[in-house]
Each structure stands twice: as C-alpha cells, then as structure tokens.
C-alpha cells in the first residue's frame, strides 16, 4: 500500500492543456474519486499516474518513489479499464493469471491467487469460460479480479461501470466499495457520474478544464462548495441558480429575485456588510424548496411565485420544473402528496436558511448556510 502525490503536474498536447498544475495528495488506503464532465482532465490524470501518458511538467510519487520515468509495469499499480480489455481467446482463469505468469510466479502461487480473487468476487464457477460467454457484470468482475491478483500498491479504475445497466451499476458500486474495505489498498477511481462519486469516495476531486476545483469529503463538497461549478455539479437534480441584486427598502435590505424579494436582514443579517453592491447569484438546492401545504414547522420560508412546466412523479417525491414570471427556470423536489398541475402558478417557499450566495463574475462562494 502507498500514498500517491501529484506535484504541480501538467500535461499538454500541443497547445491544449489537459491537466493544469495539479497538486494533490492521496492518502495510503484512501478511496479517492476523480469526477467532472468529459474533457475535464480526470482520465488524463489517471493515465499519467499509470504511466500511459508522459508528464509535461511536475512529478508523481507513489510512496517515496518518483515514478515519472518508470514504465507502467514497474509502478506497482493495477488498472481496470472502461472496456475491461479482456483477452477474448483466453479463459477467465487465463485472463486473471496472465500478469502473474509474466512476473514469473509459480503455478501454485498463480492458482492460489486467482482462486482467492475469484472467491472474493463470486466468479469461481466462471473460471473456465471465455469472455464472450459472460454478461457485462461478469466481465466487470473478471477485470477487477485480474487487478486484485497482482496485489498492487494502488488500484486505478477508469469508469469501470459505464457499460453496465442501472441495476448492475448499483450492485457493482457496493461490491467495489466492499472490496476496498477488505483490501485496505489505495483506490483511485474516475467517473463522470456524481452519484458514483458521492456514494463510493472517501474524498472527491472535482475537475473542470484540466484544473482541480475542490477536493473534499462528499458531505463537505455538497454542503460547502467553493464555487458555482462544484455547487452545480454535485447533487441531482442540480442546484438552482438565480441572478439577484441587493436592494434596500426603508431600513431593510433584500435580495431581489425577479419580482420577489428575499428579506436579507431578517434571515441573513451577517451578510449585509459582506456583499456590498457586487453582482450576485443565489443558489438553492431543489430539496430546499417546499410546497406551502407541506412546509416543515422549523423551516423559515420565503415566497417565490412560479409556473409549473413539467412534473415527474418519482414515487417518494415530485420533481417539478418551474419558471418565474421573469423567465428564470428552476427545479423543486417536493412532497409527493402535493397536488400540482402542469400550467398552474404556485407560491413555493424557499428555505432561506439553506441558500448560497456567489460572486456572479468570479463564480466563487460568498456565503453557504
């Protein structure tokens, strides 16, 4: 086992900077997830660590060893690819044993390691089959098993669940998380799916345009994002954003949201000195918006009028898509007992104790409650 360190790592392809000055320390035994949209640099970062791409600037260390110049086979890592990359002409046993045979391990040790990994993953009965005889979930387990048998210091996983259907993805997430607990080895996992990131990672590294935006625990990322990108990327449905302005009426201060006013003094008096007159964006998560009939007694709500554009009944909740009279669109997750009709106008309630304020130009957080 080993910790992993990226020190001012940059990867450039011609004029394109895929990873820009990445500084990150991953602790020994940690499960860290790289997450972000396509092209953000997460897979490139993983490939730099694996030795599949060369580093333009900076250095990567695994444990105490600088690995920039080491070949992939000498880095003591094992990688699970999105495509699984199984040899079609080999059996499951042969696929899992291949890397050990290349290392010159004895037949006895190879058999013992393969059978142990197969038992962990519940694929003992598949060892004599060829990849074409396996389902997607079974191939995914074989790919993970092939990595386990190497007993590496670091496991690297590049979107290993993307080829599975929704039900199998949930099951596979649990299996990989359980495997990490059993092996207590460093796992570095790449995904574009923020649900996978939130449910699997000890910490999550959020990337955009090759730049690390924030690295933190799932809870802290969700509750205390550093900027609008992180706030909007983490959470499903995504956080709602509204352009607002600070206004004064008599002795009271408000945030003007279209035709509605958020009473700043009453709920957020500590902000009045901090936000001055800069352009602001207000953020609120869909679950902090309530139908007035089902407002919890401890919530301080601010009334916002909007028209219902679309309703999605999810069983345990309603996902309602709305639009204010000024054309601002947003999403609310409300009590499924609420009677809501498409096209009607509602006075919904925003929990003003759960809002976020961002500098509209810099997109950095000013206030998170």
Q: What is the pLDDT of residues 82-118, one digit of tens each?
A: 888 899 999 999 999 998 898 888 999 999 999 998 9
SS3 content of the chain, % helix, strand, coil (to 5): 30, 35, 35
Nearest CA-CA partner of 47 in 58, 60, 64:
60
Would you say 206 and 36 are in contact if contact means Cβ atoms under 8 Å apart?
Answer: yes
240-368, which class in CATH?
mainly beta
pLDDT, position 115:
92
Q: What is the mean pLDDT of each run of 10 residues along the chain (369 residues)?
A: 93 96 97 96 96 97 95 92 87 92 90 90 91 90 89 92 84 89 94 92 97 97 96 94 85 79 63 68 95 90 93 94 95 94 94 90 83
The DSSP secondary-structure symbol of 234 reads S
pLDDT, position 171:
86
pLDDT, position 93:
95
Sorted by sequence, the CB contacts under 8 Å of residue 266 that are 6+ apart come out as: 252
pLDDT, position 276:
67
The DSSP secondary-structure symbol of 271 reads G
pLDDT, position 161:
86
**Bridge partners, 340 (sequence order):** none
pLDDT, position 269:
55
Order of strands across the sheet with 318-323?
Answer: 289-290, 345-351, 301-313, 318-323, 329-334
Domain 4-233: give its CATH code: 3.40.50.300
Domain ranges across the chain: 4-233, 240-368
pLDDT, position 162:
83
Token pair listed for 14: 């011609």
Any idea which residue has 């990327």 for tokens? 233
């Amino acid at each position: 086992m080993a910790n992993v360190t990226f020190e001012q790592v940059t990867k450039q392809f011609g004029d394109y900077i895929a990873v820009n000055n990445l500084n990150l320390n991953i602790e020994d035994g940690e499960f860290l997830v790289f997450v972000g949209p396509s092209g953000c640099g997460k897979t490139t970062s993983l490939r730099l660590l694996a030795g599949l791409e060369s580093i333009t600037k900076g250095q990567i260390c695994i444990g105490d060893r600088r690995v920039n110049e080491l070949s992939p086979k000498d880095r003591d890592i094992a990688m699970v690819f999105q495509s699984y990359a199984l040899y079609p002409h080999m059996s499951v046993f042969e696929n899992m044993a291949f890397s050990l045979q290349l290392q010159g391990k004895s037949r006895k040790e190879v058999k013992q390691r393969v059978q142990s990994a197969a038992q962990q993953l519940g694929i003992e009965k598949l060892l004599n089959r060829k990849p074409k005889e396996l389902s997607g979930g079974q191939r995914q387990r074989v790919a993970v098993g092939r990595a386990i048998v190497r007993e590496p210091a670091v496991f690297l996983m590049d979107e290993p669940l993307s080829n599975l259907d929704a039900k199998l993805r949930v099951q596979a997430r649990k299996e990989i998380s359980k495997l990490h607990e059993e092996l207590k080895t460093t796992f570095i996992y790449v995904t574009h799916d923020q649900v996978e990131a939130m449910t699997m990672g000890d910490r999550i590294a959020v990337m955009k345009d090759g730049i690390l935006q924030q690295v933190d625990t799932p809870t802290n990322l969700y509750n205390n994002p550093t900027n609008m990108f992180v706030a909007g990327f983490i959470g499903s449905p995504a956080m709602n954003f509204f352009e607002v302005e600070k206004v004064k009426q008599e002795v009271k201060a408000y945030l003007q949201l279209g035709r509605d006013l958020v009473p700043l003094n009453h709920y957020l008096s500590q902000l009045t000195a901090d936000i001055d007159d800069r352009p602001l964006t207000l953020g609120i998560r869909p679950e902090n918006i309530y139908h007035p009939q089902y407002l919890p007694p401890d919530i301080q709500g601010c009334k916002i009028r909007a028209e219902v554009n679309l309703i999605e009944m999810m069983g345990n909740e309603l996902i309602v898509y709305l639009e204010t009279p000024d054309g601002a669109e947003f999403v609310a997750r409300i009590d499924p007992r609420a009677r809501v009709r498409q096209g009607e106008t509602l006075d919904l309630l925003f929990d003003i104790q759960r809002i976020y304020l961002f500098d509209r130009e810099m997109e950095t957080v000013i206030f998170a409650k």
